[in-house]
Chains A and B, each alone.
Chain A
C-alpha cells in the first residue's frame, strides 16, 4: 500500500510545480498542462471514433430492425451519413466538437448537446455528493485506523474497509433497495427528480444511490487515508515535532495530515473520474438518467455520435480533474512552491 501511494504522488511531480514566486516556471507549467490536455483530447477523439467503427453493428440496421431490406439499408445509411468516407465523418464531427456542437443523433433525432449537458449534471451531482460523503467518512475513520493501528478499533476499521472494497456497488444498491425501499418503504426504490422540480423529492431519491456509491468509495478512501497517515507517522519530521514537545495527536494534526493529504487527493481525483462512468451500474439499479446510462443506451443502439460525445465529455472531465489535482498539490505542499 505505501508503495502505491508514493508511486502515485511521484507520478504527479514529473512536471515542474506551480510557483507564484517564479512566474516563468508557472507559465511553462500551465502551458505544458494545456498542451498535454489538447494532445490527449485529440488522440482520444481518434481512438473513440475508430473504436465505434470497429465493433460489429450498423446503426442503419438497428434502425430498420427486422423491417430491413438491402435497398432500405442503403437508403438509411445515406440518410444517416454513415456511408460516407470515415475521414469525412471524423472531421465533420471534430469540427462540431471545436464549436461545442455535438451534432444531431440519428437514433433519437434530437440534438445531442442539450441532452449531454442535462445528463452530465445528474452524474456530477450524484458522484460529487457521493465523494463528499465518502471523504467525510473516510478521513476521520482512516486517520483513526492509522493512529490506533495496533488497537482493536483500528484493526476493525481496516477489516471493515476491506469488506467494503470487496462489495460491488450494484450489490450494495440492490440490498439498499430491498431493505429501505421495498421492505421498509422509507425511501423511493428508484427514479430521479430534478432539484428545481421538487427539492425534497430530489433529496429522497438521492439518498440510496449516494449511500451505495459512497459506501464503496468510502471504504477505498479509508484504506488510502489509513496507509497515507501510517506513512507520515513514521517520518522524521513528525518525530522532530514530538521532540519539540507536541503530543502525538497534536503533531499529527499540525504536520501529518497535510502531508497525508497528497496521495489522498490524487486518489480522490482519479476516483471521481472513474466514478462518473463507473456509476453506470448504480444509475441502472436506481434508474437515474445520468451520463453512464446514456452511454450504455447509445452503445446498444450504435448511436455513434452520442457515444463519441459522451466519451469526449468524460475525457474532458478527467483531464480537468487532473489539472485541479495538480493545482491542489501546490496549495497543500509548500515544498512544491519553494523548490527552485
Chain B
C-alpha cells in the first residue's frame, strides 16, 4: 500500500519537475517591454497585422514595408507628411530637358547597417534587381527604366524609356528601396538598409526589435531601441497600452476603443489621414454591375456619411474614388453621387433591375464587418437585396474575388498609395473596369510636365467617377494613440511606411 502511494507521489514529483525544468528553458524567448524608468530610452509600438516575413521583394502585405521602409530601408527620395517628394539618399537631382534622364547626387558618408559603404553602385544594383529578382507586380513600376548608369561613386544617371511622373514618386515606395549587394541573401529574416535602425531581433507573429544605429548618416532618433509588438486584435493593443506594456498604438483599427483614451491626459490621440480606401467594389464584367446604371444606383443609394458614422464612429473622411487629399491630383468629387434613394430606384427601373438580388462578399476584417450590415440595409431601401457572404481574408478572398473574379460586390481596404491606375487602368484587375477611356489620358499625363500630370490625372479620376467604376465608402483614418510623453509618432500614413525615425521622449 505504502509503496503504491509512493509511486503516485513519485509520478507527481516527476511531472512537477518536468514543468519546472521546461520553465528553466528559454521558452518563448520573446521580449518583455515597458520598464518604468526615469527617462526611457526605448519605445514599444503596438500594431495589428504582422508581417509574415521581412522580404517585401517577394511577399505582399503592407505590414512589411510599414515596418521597414524609412526605418531600415531608405530610398533616394521620401514622402513627407503632406505627400511632397523630398530628398533622402539623393541630396539633389536634375532632370534632362526631354525629362527622360534623372541625374541623382548621392549623400556621402552613408553606410548600410552591415558596415558596407553606400555608393552609386548600390543604386544601380537595387534598381536592376527589381526587374530581375522581385516577385511582385509592383516591379512593373520600374519597367519604364531603360538604363541605370553609375557616373561616379556619388552620382547616378537613370534614363527612362519615356518621361514619367509616377516613376519619381515610386522611388519613395518599396521599389525604390536601396539594398546592399552583399546583403540580399536572407531578406526574409535579416534585412540590411541605410536607415537609422538595424533589425536586432525578429520573431515572426510576435515582435520586431530595432536598435538605433550609432553610425547613421542623418539625424539619429531620440531612442536607443524600438520594438514593434504585433497583436491579433485591437482590444489587446489598448489593454497593453493601458497597463503600460506598450508606449503607443499605430494605426488602431477599432475607433470604438478610443473614448477611454481621449478623456485621459496621460495619452494623446491623433487621427490623421491615410492612403487607404475602404472600397465598395463592383464586378464591372458580370451582371448586374456590368450595367453602369446599376452601379450608379448603388452609389446614389448609399448615405456614406451615415456609413462612416455607424461603422467607424465618424473617424475618416469621404472621398469619391481612389484619390486622397494628400495626392497632388486630388479634387473633391463627393457631390457626383449625393445620397438620393429616389434616383437610385429610377436608375434601377430604367435598367430593368427592380428587386435585384446580389451577393456581397465580405472579407473577415474589422472594417469590412463594420460596414457590411449598414450597406446591406441601405441597399435594401432601394430594392437591392444583398446577401452577405463572408470570405476568409486573405486566403479565400484572394482566391475567390481577386484571382477568380467570382463575386458581384465586395469591400476591401486598398492601402497602396496612388493606386488609382493600379486598380482601374487594367481590365484584368478584379474590378474589371473598361479602361479604354482613361488609358490614353493616363499615359499622356504620366509623360506630361507636372501641371499636365495633375490635370490629366484629375480627368482620369473624373472619368472613373462618371462611370461609377466602383465606390469608396470612406478614406481610412490613421488613428494613433500614444503616451503623452512620447514624441514623433507620424500623424498620417500617406505611404505604407510607419516612419519611426523621429521618436523621442519628453
Q: Are B394 and A121 in contact (CB under 8 A)?
A: no
B2 contacts the other chain (CB 8 A)? no
With A109-B189, A121-B25, A331-B11 known as contacts, the answer to whether A62 contacts B232 (CB < 8 A) is no
Q: Are A191 and B32 in contact (CB under 8 A)?
A: yes
Chain B residue at smallest Cβ distance from A194: B29
**Residues of B with C-beta under 8 A to A297:** 50, 205
Q: Are B396 and A287 in contact (CB under 8 A)?
A: no
Q: Are B395 and A56 in contact (CB under 8 A)?
A: yes
With A118-B27, A191-B33, A197-B29 known as contacts, the answer to whether A110 contacts B19 (CB < 8 A) is no
Q: Which of A124-132, A143-151, A243-251, A311-319 contacts B (4 or more CB under 8 A)?
A: A124-132
Q: Are B188 and A197 in contact (CB under 8 A)?
A: no
Q: Are A129 and B19 in contact (CB under 8 A)?
A: yes
A61 contacts the other chain (CB 8 A)? yes
**Residues of B with C-beta under 8 A to A193:** 30, 32
A177 contacts the other chain (CB 8 A)? yes
With A108-B204, A181-B243, A191-B33 known as contacts, the answer to whether A125 contacts B27 (CB < 8 A) is yes
Chain A residue at smallest Cβ distance from B242: A182
Number of A-B contacts (CB under 8 A): 181
Chain B residue at smallest Cβ distance from A180: B243
- A138 vs chain B, min Cβ distance (A): 15
Q: Which of A32-79 contact B (CB under 8 A)?
A: 56-58, 61-69, 72-73, 75-76, 79
In angstroms, Cα B392 to Cα A302, docked, is 11
**Residues of B with C-beta under 8 A to A109:** 53, 55, 186, 188-189
Q: Are A63 and B52 in contact (CB under 8 A)?
A: yes
Contact of B188 among A56, A108, A300 (CB under 8 A): A108
Interface size on A, residues (CB 8 A): 65
Q: Are B60 and A67 in contact (CB under 8 A)?
A: yes
A301 contacts the other chain (CB 8 A)? yes
- What range describes how many residues of B lie at the interface? 35 or more
Q: Are B19 and A132 in contact (CB under 8 A)?
A: yes
Q: Which of A105-140 contact B (CB under 8 A)?
A: 107-110, 115, 118-119, 121-122, 124-125, 128-129, 132
21 contacts between A and B (CB under 8 A): A62-B60, A65-B61, A65-B394, A65-B398, A67-B138, A76-B135, A108-B52, A108-B204, A109-B189, A118-B29, A121-B28, A189-B239, A189-B243, A190-B240, A195-B23, A195-B27, A197-B29, A197-B32, A285-B236, A289-B30, A289-B203
If A62-B395, A287-B236 are given as contacts, then 13 extra A-B residue pairs at C-beta distance below 8 Å, sorted by A number, are A56-B399, A63-B58, A64-B59, A68-B403, A108-B188, A109-B188, A182-B242, A188-B245, A191-B30, A195-B27, A196-B27, A198-B32, A201-B32
| Interfacial residues, chain A to chain B (CB-CB below 8 A) | 56-58, 61-69, 72-73, 75-76, 79, 107-110, 115, 118-119, 121-122, 124-125, 128-129, 132, 177, 181-182, 185, 188-198, 201-202, 284-285, 287-290, 293-294, 297, 300-303, 328, 331-332, 334
| Interfacial residues, chain B to chain A (CB-CB below 8 A) | 4, 7-8, 11, 15-16, 18-19, 22-30, 32-33, 50, 52-53, 55, 58-61, 135-138, 186, 188-189, 203-206, 231-233, 236, 239-240, 242-243, 245, 392, 394-396, 398-400, 402-403, 414, 416
